[in-house]
Chain A
Amino acid sequence: MSSASIPDPTAPLTPSGNLRRRQLVSRVSEVAATAAAVLAIAVLVLVIYSVVIRGAKKVSLDFIFTTYPTGVGPMLLGTLEIALIATLMAMPIGVLIALFLTEYSGAKGARTMKLILDLVNGLPSIILGLFAFIAFVEFKGQSGFAGAVALAIIELPLIARGSQEVLLLVPQSLREASDALGVARWRSVLTVVLPTALGGIVTSTVLAVARAAGETAPLILTSSNFDGKMFVLNPFEALPNVPTWIYKLSEEGNPEGFNEAWGMSLLLVAFILFASLGARALLARSKRKLSS
């Protein structure tokens, strides 16, 4: 025990060598964390920049509205149609599941249901494509409808969870007021709870659509047999669609095809970014309104 190890109590408080090292480590870790965030955003900007720069050369009104080879109108229409059918299937079921979770199930039922939703959410999209292939394409041939079923399964957990979050924000006092007036449960659910949460439910649905619109794996197995030379409306045929066509062009390795693929990528990315950013902003607003 030498007396040197005891600090001199009268000395001024300055960082010793050890503290300086600890502060350095802390500083370095802060810089590293910031760098990680910058890196992620740089990648996002880089991808979007590449798509915009190369896609902008191709995109024009003709490109959007005419048929192949001058434009990709049929693919855009088909993608809209598939997304619409998928949402028409997924939205009612998703909202009903959310109602089940918030209004009816106990804690145990809610836990089971959440687990199931998470499992559905975790199914790889290519697996859903295989499923739609066995369930529909094996018997009836390719159809946009089969693809829409697969996309509906992708949308379902997203809509259910999003709606559930909004429904949970509906003030309990509204339900109690309705109960106190002797209104039956189903009436208060349909006329009080749902209308209050409607805005949030719609925006979560838009988010789910934005996610499903770019899904490719199910569609190359169920709705890839098209040439884009005419508009197709019948969902029980193969519907032309954007993701499959981008995939096809990227596999062909033809420079002119690459340009078309960039153009379509730009349209798809623009739709998805605007839809998800807009829906996010609206969702944040309606959540704030509900919880205040």
Chain B
Amino acid sequence: MTTVASPAAQAGGRGTRVSPLRKRADSIGDRLLLGICLLAAAIAAGTIFLVGYQIVHGAVPAISKFGLGFVTSTEWQPNFGVFGAGVLLFGTAVTSAFALFLGAPIAISIGLFLTLLAPKGVRGVVGPLVELLAAIPSVILGFWGLLVLAPFVQSKIEPFLHSTLGFIPIFGSPQTTGLSLFTASLILTIMVIPIIASISRDLFQSVPRELQDGAAALGATRWEVVRGVVLPTTSSGVIAACILGLGRALGEAIAVSQVVGAGFEIKGSLFETGNTLASQIALQFPGALTELHKASLYYCGVILLVIGLASNLIAQWIGRRFSYAGAVAR
């Protein structure tokens, strides 16, 4: 421990008094370090407000022109200066909801597999691999979706779903390209799985061992332990994890814009093209010419920001309630 033997320590060890100069330097140093740390914290807090302010500020022309009607209007015609986010909002809601519908059960199962089923060696390999899924850049996932997944979806999955579940209107007849809300949802599913899986694994690990053993001693099978003990004690945390995953899916721009097909109508079938708020910004912002067009895209950003922050806060709130309840239970 060479670090401990600093000059101050040596001075103290020799029994000499610390000089007033050193004392003053230390008190200044203490305040300085605290001040810098506080400054860093303030920068992080300021970032949120600055981002929010700038984006709302950029959206002002569109907000004052279209008002709240922007949210429901389905017209988006840059050449005529008419903008509405209805189609985008629909696409965002459908793709994210479908991604969560597919991804959450898979991710929660992975969490259960990692905590309850997998032997230690397997756990150490599978856990990090699932998290690596989150490390693949969205642009590469989208590119893969465009060239590998979409053709497969178009030639195999869409005809299959249409012939077996075609009586449900969302599984309409297959389209020519495979670029669709459905393909976008699949890509988003791949993105939300690692998020929900790693949070729910941590949650399941926190369930007290005695409770599970108690249930098993009463004769519960493994599934009944999960149903009766593990899931009920962690349910609010799992819901919070799902909302975090939803927030990720809502805000994804690049991968979605590569596979969603940039449609501009609301259609009943998932196999039709569509668009989302985030992907519309990515697709049109670089080429936006008029101020109103830009402002409308900022308006989309405002909606996205509000939904994103709200989902995050709700997840935090549920998570906090959960940890409180957990502390009481223990």
Contact = CB atoms under 8 A, between A and B. Distances in A.
Interface of A: 22-23, 25-26, 29-30, 32-37, 39-41, 43-44, 46-48, 50-51, 92-94, 96-97, 99-100, 103-105, 113, 115-120, 122-131, 133-135, 153, 156-157, 160, 177-178, 181-187, 189-192, 195, 210-211, 213-217, 220-221, 224, 243, 246-247, 250-251, 258, 261-262, 265, 268-269, 272-273, 276-277, 280
B165 interface: no
Contacts of A44: 129-130, 132-133, 136
Contact of A189 (B12, B33, B286): B33
B137 A216 contact: yes
Given A186-B33, A187-B26, A181 B110 contact: no
B13 A181 contact: yes
Contacts, number: 274
A54 B144 CA distance: 11
B302 to A, nearest CB: 9
Contacts of B244: 122
B309 interface: yes
Contacts of A104: 34, 37-38
B251 A26 contact: no
A131 B58 CA distance: 9
A178 B113 CA distance: 45
Contact of A124 (B50, B107, B304, B316): B304
Nearest to B255: A216
Given A40-B106, A221-B286, A22 B221 contact: yes
A23 B221 contact: yes
Nearest to A96: B40
A16 B130 CA distance: 39
Interface of B: 3-4, 6, 8-9, 12-13, 18, 26-27, 29-30, 32-34, 36-41, 43-45, 47-48, 50-51, 54-55, 57-58, 105-107, 109-110, 112-114, 116-118, 126, 128-130, 132-133, 135-144, 146-148, 190, 193-194, 197, 221-224, 226, 244, 247, 250-254, 258, 278, 281-282, 285-286, 297-298, 301, 304-305, 308-309, 311-313, 316
B143 A41 contact: no
Given A119-B312, A190-B33, A269 B143 contact: no
B6 A250 contact: no
A35 B117 CA distance: 12
Contacts of A186: 26, 29-30, 32-33
Nearest to B283: A251
A290 B20 CA distance: 36
Contacts of B281: 126, 129-130
A97 B44 contact: yes
